[in-house]
Amino acid sequence: MKITMNQETNKLTVSIEGSIDTVTAPELEKELAANWNGVTKLFLDFKAVDYISSAGLRVMMAAEQHMEAVGSMTIMNVNDDVKEVFEMTGFDELLNFE
């Protein structure tokens, strides 16, 4: 997994490439927590995400809970296979997608 961060004032865009799974989810969680201070708008770009596991879903919920208290989180550019995981688990009802 590759993580690229672009911060503009209070907006953080995180582009993720590869799989968000049991091995990579802790790294993503750590990177988000290290960079979201002062951020009120978090955008997660899933354009190059090919898989998300339950560990990745847990990170998405933790990020949503944090951002809900300070602003908003949006997941963008989700491909059909990954979107299906969000839909099957009901996470599509809990998270904001663009």
What value does the mean pLDDT of the chain take? 97
Q: How far apart are CA 51 and CA 84, in angstroms?
A: 10
- Report DSSP letters for 12-71, one per residue: EEEEEEEEESTTTHHHHHHHHHHH-TT-SEEEEEEEEEEEE-HHHHHHHHHHHHHHHHHS
Q: How would residue 17 be classed by pLDDT, with cut points 50, 70 and 90?
A: very high
Q: How far apart are CA 20 and CA 42, in angstroms?
A: 17
Domain 2-93 has CATH 3.30.750.24: yes
pTM of full prediction above 0.75: yes
Q: What is the pLDDT of residue 27?
A: 97
Q: 79 in helix, strand or coil?
A: coil
Residue pLDDT, tens place only, 44-62: 999 999 999 999 999 999 9
